[in-house]
Amino acid sequence: MRFSEMPRIGLGTSQLHGDELARVLAAGFEAGYRWVDTAARYGNEAGVGAAVRASGLPREDVWVTTKVWNDHHGYEAVLADFGTSMRELGLERVDLYLIHWPVASRDLYAESWRALLRLREEGLVDHIGVSNFQIPHLERLFAETGVYPLVNQVEAHPFLGQVPLRAFHAAHGIQTQAWSALNKGRGLDDPVITGIAGEIGASPAQVVLAWHLARGTRPITKSGKPERLAAGIAALDLRLSDAQVAAIDALDRGERGGPDPDTMELMEASR
Ligand SMILES: NC(=O)C1=CN([C@@H]2O[C@H](COP(=O)(O)OP(=O)(O)OC[C@H]3O[C@@H](n4cnc5c(N)ncnc54)[C@H](OP(=O)(O)O)[C@@H]3O)[C@@H](O)[C@H]2O)C=CC1
Ligand SMILES: O=C(O)C(=O)[C@@H](O)[C@H](O)C(=O)CO
């Protein structure tokens, strides 16, 4: 799939395995999701690939992202682990391959980025990017290779607006993707969000997804409940006013629910 055709809302698969993974992905495809986010770390690439094949959808209609984990940084290690991901997925191509975290303490992320550039040059992956990179990490990639990532997938939700990072992305043509787009349900009861939900006749979760879309961020969400998955896709049709977007922007308190990219070092094996 061309980058310009990339779906606007992604379906996450972290911590989903076996029958539950198959059930959620089948419900997600039924609801209209066409972008699945996995990672070596999630230990479910084989199940994701199987669900894509089982969907009956043409392969070119589904966007599959996977990521290399922290224990496989470095040029040769990335190339080797990409091969393992491809075998696990059992798909001919992966649409987007990301470096999951910078793990700056290892000082291997720029070398890892060179490996992603090679994979793209060789046509083994269509698009490449990073996840959880801060501005200095992105600057370093450009300084060393002259190429910015196409995507940076970072934690973002109303309590973590990522304003400086998003401005940097906009200046350098990097797409912002939001993981934990719903902050795992936290803050959906905030009066600003429930108030806008009442104004437009939508659910709080739909309001948050519509807010991501209005500010040009691509949200990735997850639910085990088919009705929530369907509601998420319906958010594509919602339009917030500038005032509603600004009111949600004002909830930003720089509050992370997940790890801090500057200190995240989890090196447990992904496989
Ligand atoms: N690159 C990275 O480092 C990271 C990437 N990710 C990716 O992003 C994906 C999404 O992240 P995740 O944190 O799961 O996303 P969300 O913010 O969507 O959180 C999902 C949780 O929110 C609940 N939820 C979903 N919809 C609603 C709703 N309408 N009302 C209330 N609660 C709701 C779900 O519960 P229920 O199932 O009961 O509906 C689930 O427990 C991951 O699966 C993964 O693919 C995640 C973390 C880090
Ligand atoms: O879920 C992800 O994509 C993450 O990067 C992290 O949540 C990671 O999997 C983790 O284990 C953090 O402790």
Per-residue pLDDT tens over the stretch 59-97: 999 999 999 999 999 999 999 999 999 999 999 999 999
Cβ(212) – ligand 2 distance below 6 Å:
no
Radius of gyration from C-alpha coordinates of the chain: 18
Per-residue pLDDT tens over the stretch 198-213: 999 999 999 999 999 9
Pick from 33, 67, 131, 184 the residue to mutate for probing ligand 1's pocket: most ligand atoms within 8 Å of its CB. Answer: 184
Cβ(14) – ligand 2 distance below 6 Å:
yes
Is 157 labeled as ligand-binding?
no
CA dihedral 256, 9, 236, 246 (to 10 degrees): 20
Report the pLDDT value the prediction gives residue 235, as an integer from 0 to 100. Answer: 98
Cβ(54) – ligand 2 distance below 6 Å:
no
Q: Which ligand is nearest to the CA of 264?
A: 2
ipTM: 0.97
Per-residue pLDDT tens over the stretch 223-260: 999 999 999 999 999 999 999 999 999 999 999 999 99
Which residue shows structure tokens 């999701």?
Answer: 33
Q: How confident is the model at residue 52 (pLDDT cuts 50, 70, 90)?
A: very high
Of all residues in the chain, what percent are helix, strand and coil, respectively (each to 5)? 50, 15, 35
